[in-house]
Structure 1
Amino acid sequence: MSFEEAYDVFPQRPGANRTEARREFDRLSEDEKLRLYTAALRFAQWHIEDAAARNVSPESQLQFRPGMGKWIRTAAWVEALHIPLKSDPVPPLANGLVVVPPDHPDFQAVARLRAKTGGKVVIGKSGNGTFRIEEIEQARAQA
């Protein structure tokens, strides 16, 4: 995951410090960079949905968003992985987990993703699978 890809999707506060964002991004591991990209996508969608709920344009709300450098440094990006979105087919629980039945497209996408790496999907006593929202986002992107 490149810095440019993450920076381009993040809703940028006017006057945000790109150098600081780059420095903080470079401190992350490769796995964290991938998770951060997912978080940036979710945060961008939340930004749009929040503006719509306020009946204002997303651009008018940019001044109230953190700069990407601070967002990374304070680990707010981890919280963004769990933001419930109106656009989520199945909203995540407070801890960022999503419970879906085997016939749900997200379940099937994660099963395909895990099969590529030799992983399996565990079905709980309820008959459903439980996944981290970022794994679902990754599976959707590769579907």
Structure 2
Amino acid sequence: MRINCQNWRNRTKKRPKASFILFGFAVKQQTQLNGTFQYENGTFAYEGDGELWTDGKQKGANALHSYGNGDTVGIGVNSATRQIIFTKNGLQLDSSAHLFVAPSFADFSFYPFVSLWHSDDKIEANFGPNFKFDLATL
């Protein structure tokens, strides 16, 4: 299954290392568009410094690899197993291997989001179909 938030490209120029850009998805549509979504229940987010957020909680500092200028990062879901994966430059990140969408979110709808901390942060988003990660490998 291809979902619309598989591939985000981080293009920050002033912060070449990790930054406070977060991307991910929510299993419900958020009504407030100016918040930090990683603090909400039903969200999954990957932060530029490698932090992983799920259901409003940090799952560990540096749980994933940091990303920055020129990296391509993505998120995907295996619809058969409900497994959530994060990718960096076309490779699945091992630390995301045990993340699953809870059965309580039965309608299985996803809403992509990105949180930019600085006003000059920029991203390039790809909503498909040419993803760096091969979804057939799931």
**Shorter-chain-normalised TM-score: which range?**
under 0.3
- Which has more radius of gyration? 1
Higher relative contact order (CA 8 A, sep 6+): 2
Q: TM-score with structure 1 length normalisation?
A: 0.24
Q: TM-score with structure 2 length normalisation?
A: 0.24
Larger strand share, 1 or 2:
2
